[in-house]
A and B are shown apart, each in its own frame.
Chain A
Amino acid sequence: GAGVSQSPSNKVTEKGKDVELRCDPISGHTALYWYRQSLGQGLEFLIYFQGNSAPDKSGLPSDRFSAERTGGSVSTLTIQRTQQEDSAVYLCASSSNNQPQHFGDGTRLSIL
């Protein structure tokens, strides 16, 4: 079956530009998560959506980062006024309640 899909797979942009990263979760999964992974590092939690509840934004590193989840399905992570330190792989995952997460293959973001 279809897994978690992320787009684009790669994104190169200039410092100061805004970027939008998209995540299509597995159909029926109520929970959706965004992580950031720097080279050779673990996963840094960014934000979590669960059903109609208010999202947990406690991991967002600055107010330049925001995310939406429309209709309980597709999610968009937006980074405004990108900085070079934003360069990383951004991973999305979805899950059913109390089940392990299923990850997409990520968007590799490079800020020039």
Chain B
Amino acid sequence: GESVGLHLPTLSVQEGDNSIINCAYSNSASDYFIWYKQESGKGPQFIIDIRSNMDKRQGQRVTVLLNKTVKHLSLQIAATQPGDSAVYFCAETIPGTNAGKSTFGDGTTLTVKP
């Protein structure tokens, strides 16, 4: 079956630096992608999403980039703060299904050093 993988299981950055979290997806038919943030003991929290007709979308301090040619998704966090420390998951959805059947990767643990 399809899988979503993350290049690195952990990422450590200095407070104030920019963070980039990567995600590789395997199904070229996927058309909807979501990034979630999960803090310890909490459920995942929606950060930002992007559809396949876009290659970039910006939110508050976060930007998602989609490269369909190489099936790569990234989450950029500007001026990373200690509160950004969490596990970040990407998820993909194939047309005809719904966001509920998104395939999730194993996550990247982001640690922000003061």
Contacts and interface: CB of A to CB of B under 8 A. Distances in A.
Classify chain A's interface size: 20 to 34
B41 A103 contact: no
B25 interface: no
Contacts of A48: 98, 100-101
A43 B104 CA distance: 6
Contacts, number: 56
Q: Which of A56, A98, A100, A105 gathers the greatest number of chain B CB atoms within 10 Å?
A: A100
Given A91-B43, A104-B43, A33 B34 contact: no
Contact of B99 (A91, A101, A104, A106): A101
B106 A102 contact: no
A87 interface: no
A50 interface: yes
Nearest to B109: A40
A50 B107 contact: no
Given A99-B99, A101-B99, A102-B46, A42 B107 contact: yes
8 contacts: A40-B106, A45-B101, A56-B101, A95-B100, A99-B99, A101-B100, A103-B43, A105-B43
